[in-house]
Amino acid sequence: MAEEGANNTPQPSAGGGKNPLLTIVMILNIILLGGVIYMQLETHKKMNANMTEMDVVRAELKKSAGDAEEGAAVDVPKEDQGNLLPLDGFTANLAQGDGPRRFIRLNAVLKLSSDAKDEEYKARKPQIRDAIISILNAKRPEDLLKAEGKGHLKEEIKAAINTFLVEGRVLDVYYVGFQIN
């Protein structure tokens, strides 16, 4: 009887008690996680490879200041060449919507055509500021929170300033700071 009791104890199986399905699921999980990481890295590389508006502004500022060193020069397309005029910051009330009173803080840089003269822009600075503040006062926060709303605002600012300029014109408007409170 003692021999029978000793033989009835459970023996470990040859597979070590591991579930093969669990192992397969773990391997697939690791492979999928690796794929997700790879896709995120590739997307990040693509986003960093595109030249942003800030890169264009920095390149133009370096070029205008004459600080561009060899090897550090950024290739700027021919149509993007022009003078940059940084504007003082703006704080303006937005049009009243359904909610509480809101305002905008905006810092912008104007990109001027090559034939533009700085003297004219300095002389017209009050008109430029007035035009931008008037445009901002007419906007509602909902209009400006969308990407297309910010694009329309740039076009409105360009058109308003170009109406009273004699020499040169505004080619583009770059937002350096944009905050709605």
Q: Which residues pair with 140 in a beta bridge?
A: none
Q: Is residue 62 part of a domain?
A: no
Q: Which residues pair with 179 in a beta bridge?
A: 105
Averaged pLDDT of the chain: 80
How many domains are contained in the chain?
2
Going by pLDDT thresholds of 50, 70 and 90, the confidence category of residue 71 is very low
What is the rounded distance in angstroms from the CA atom of residue 120 to the CA atom of residue 21?
A: 76
Going by pLDDT thresholds of 50, 70 and 90, the confidence category of residue 142 is confident
The answer to whether 135 touches 153, Cβ cutoff 8 Å, is yes
Which CATH number does the domain housing residue 95 bear? 3.30.479.30
The mean pLDDT value for 157-175 works out to: 89
Q: Is residue 153 part of a domain?
A: yes
- 158, 163, 168, 170: CA torsion to nearest 10: 0
